[in-house]
Amino acid sequence: MATRADLLAVPVPGVRVTRWSTGELYAGMKEMYAIGRVEVGRSEWWCRGKVWSCGPGSLQILRPGDVHRDISRDGPGTGQCVAFSASMVERVIGKVCVHPQLAAGDERGAAFHRLHHAVRAGADRLELEVAVAEAIDALAAVGDAQCEYTRPVRRAIELLREQLAEPVTLDDLAAHAGLDKFHLCRAFRAQVGMSPYAYLTRLRIMRAKEMLVAGVRPRDIAPRVGLYDQSQLNRHFRRIVGTTPGQYARGA
């Protein structure tokens, strides 16, 4: 079974819902706070330096910038993901490092299950808004400092985000992180799941997507996200998103 992801319209600003099905191994990086619920299938997946096992009813809870990848899958799987914009979450509870997974029977997941059921049932706007508010509030209860990156890796990520549109060298990152560059590369890949350069490229494409949705012309984006020219933007965008910037803008 090939991977399929269908966006569902919901009447709550800042919320995005995706219904997915797959028989393949999937990898990606989250752009929003995301609460995924597995309905069918079992798999092992990697996030923040650890391997997790999930099955029907389990919840996957990720934050913006989290890299995740499937390691193995026991047959086809289906599920649903409800995602919130970072601003929507952080103005309520601040930045939070959430535990990446909750088991099916974990009581801390009750508000998240209610939200998923409300979406699937086609609840009206008020019911959905209440479910969204309760789910965001519940994110604070699944905070887990042990799942946070180490301080050097956090500082490296901070610099990549702050200087996304500017040239950044490995020496710059190492100095900001307080590690030599060899230790930083090893620690970054072990905890984040990719190299600092690959992570920065993902950040740049995420910013490019935001700009396209806001109506910025593709040819004006590359220098504003730290890429050399439109051809480099097109190449990275197609590899990561699966379409060209122009196609993405027309479908936004």
Q: What is the pLDDT of residues 103-153, one digit of tens each?
A: 998 999 999 999 999 999 999 999 999 999 999 999 988 887 677 899 999
93 and 175 belong to one structural domain: no
Instruction: Tell me which of 96, 124, 146 is where a domain ends.
Output: 146
* pLDDT of residue 11 exceeding 80: yes
Tell me, what's the pLDDT at 96? 83
- Distance separating alpha carbons of residues 101 and 79, to the nearest angstrom: 14
Helix (H) or strand (E) holding 53: strand 50-54
Q: In this predicted model, what pLDDT tens digit does every residue of 191-232 receive, in sequence order? A: 999 999 999 999 999 999 999 999 999 989 999 999 989 999
Three-state secondary structure call for residue 212? helix
Instruction: Tell me which of 131, 146, 161 is where a domain ends.
Output: 146
Residues 44 and 57 sit within 8 Å (Cβ to Cβ): no
**Residue 177 — pLDDT band, cuts 50, 70, 90?**
very high
- What contacts 136, CB < 8 A, 6 or more positions away? 84, 88, 89, 92, 93
111 and 51 belong to one structural domain: yes
116 and 226 belong to one structural domain: no
69 and 163 belong to one structural domain: no
88 and 200 belong to one structural domain: no
109 and 21 belong to one structural domain: yes
* pLDDT of residue 167 exceeding 80: yes
Q: What is the mean pLDDT of the chain?
A: 93
Number of domains into which the chain is organized: 2
99 and 118 belong to one structural domain: yes
- CATH number of the domain encompassing residue 81: 2.60.120.280
Residue written as token pair 């990561």: 240
Q: What is the largest CA-CA distance in the chain?
A: 54
Total-model pTM: 0.86
pLDDT above 70 as % of the chain: 98
Tell me, what's the pLDDT at 8? 86
Domain containing 44 equals 4-146
77 and 183 belong to one structural domain: no
142 and 159 belong to one structural domain: no
User: Which contacts of 214-218 are long-range, i.e. CB under 8 A and separated by 24 or more positions?
Assistant: 218/244, 218/245, 218/246, 218/249
Instruction: Tell me which of 146, 166, 201 is where a domain ends.
Output: 146
